[in-house]
């Protein structure tokens, strides 16, 4: 499942083909994904210029010259392909249509953007740009972890009285937007905090210490995604999935990588999600 760094990598990969470009033709090949598509979606997109591509949490937002914003969510298995990119960044030829190509944008500049989603947990929606803050998917989101409002005093005030495990508090999108299971596990490991610790029982220093670490974990992963774009070799033009080595995630039974720690990475299940951590150095 794509997390924030993967979505940001997709956004960066789409930008050269889409920003400032006109959607010559939008094709919508089914009535819905996770939810029904908005009415007349193809018609409302065709002819629009993409003014800018932004990301909010795990959503890609395309502001259009029509006064509307297109929201794209990759869901569990959604993939974005860029082919025929005229800027020479991606040299791929257009592919024959595949079974799960649900939405296709043919840009006036010759690029083709294909949204393929076998499991159909993805979503697209259109909203008035001026009223985007009221969109049900966006209005519930807390601050961006890489944005300016997510800082030490914010996180401390937000978490100091929470009786929930710190892991659940960080996964709560109202506290911080877009943080997922993998990067929360990694951040807690770097901070030596046990994922089941109650937020309210952590000292102020330990809570505030999470802020720069969360930023670092995400920034490192985005950088890895960025190098995957630069070194773009995937045959079909797919964006956003890259090799990244995690310290704890998926490493149950492996030795802890922290210098001087002889612990073994363990896994517990919290709210139905796996938490990976080192019982020796995370308290
Ligand atoms: Zn350890």
- Render pLDDT for 43-86 as a digit per residue (tens, 0 to 9): 999 999 999 999 999 999 999 999 999 999 999 889 898 888 66
pLDDT class for 276, splitting at 50, 70, 90?
very high
Token pair for residue 253?
A: 């039974």
pLDDT tens for each residue of 173-221 = 999 999 999 999 999 999 999 999 999 999 999 999 999 999 999 999 9
58 classed as catalytic: yes
Query: From the candidates 58, 112, 167, 190, which is the catalytic residue?
Result: 58
The model's confidence at residue 233, banded by pLDDT at 50, 70 and 90, is very low
Residue 55 catalytic? no
Tell me how far the alpha carbon of residue 259 lies from the centroid of ligand 1, in angstroms: 8
The pocket of ion ligand 1, defined by CB under 5 A, consists of: 256, 258, 261, 263, 278, 280-281
At 54 the three-state DSSP class reads: strand
Active site residue 2: yes
Q: How far is CA 132 from CA 56, 103, 175, in A?
A: 11, 22, 20
Measured in whole angstroms, the distance separating CA 58 from the mean position of its chain's CA atoms is 4
Neighbouring residues of 222: CB distance < 8 A, sequence distance ≥ 6: 5, 8, 9
C-beta separation of 242 from 225 below 8 A: yes
In the reported structure, the alpha carbon of residue 260 is separated from the centroid of ligand 1 by a whole-number distance in angstroms of: 8
Q: How far is ligand 1, taken at its centre, from the CA of residue 200, in Å? A: 23
Q: For the whole model, what pTM was predicted?
A: 0.92
Asked which of 2-16, 121-135, 246-260 is least confident by mean pLDDT, the reply is: 2-16
Mean pLDDT across the chain = 92
């Amino acid at each position: 499942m794509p997390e924030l760094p993967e979505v940001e990598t997709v956004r960066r990969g789409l930008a050269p083909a889409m920003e400032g470009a006109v959607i010559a033709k939008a094709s919508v090949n089914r009535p819905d994904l996770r939810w029904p598509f908005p009415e007349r979606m193809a018609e409302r997109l065709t002819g629009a210029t993409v003014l800018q591509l932004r990301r909010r949490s795990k959503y890609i937002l395309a502001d259009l010259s029509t006064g509307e914003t297109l929201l794209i969510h990759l869901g569990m298995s959604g993939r974005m392909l860029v082919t025929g990119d005229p800027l020479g960044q991606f040299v791929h030829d257009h592919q024959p249509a595949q079974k799960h190509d649900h939405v296709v944008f043919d840009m006036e500049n010759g690029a083709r953007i294909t949204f393929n989603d076998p499991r159909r947990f993805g979503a697209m929606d259109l909203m008035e740009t001026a009223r985007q803050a009221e969109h049900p998917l966006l209005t519930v989101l807390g601050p961006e972890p890489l944005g300016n409002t997510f800082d030490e005093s914010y996180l401390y005030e937000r978490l100091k009285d929470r009786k929930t495990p710190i892991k659940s508090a960080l996964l709560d999108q109202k506290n911080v937007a877009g943080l997922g299971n993998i990067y929360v596990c990694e951040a807690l490991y770097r901070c030596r905090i046990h994922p089941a610790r109650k937020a309210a029982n952590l000292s102020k220093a330990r809570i505030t210490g999470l802020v720069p670490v969360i930023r670092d974990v995400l920034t490192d992963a985005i950088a890895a995604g960025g190098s995957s774009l630069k070194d773009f070799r995937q045959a079909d033009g797919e964006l956003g999935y890259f090799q990244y080595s995690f310290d704890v995630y998926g490493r149950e039974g492996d030795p802890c990588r922290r210098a001087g720690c002889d612990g073994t990475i363990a896994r517990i299940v919290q709210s139905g999600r796996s938490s990976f951590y080192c019982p020796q150095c995370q308290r």
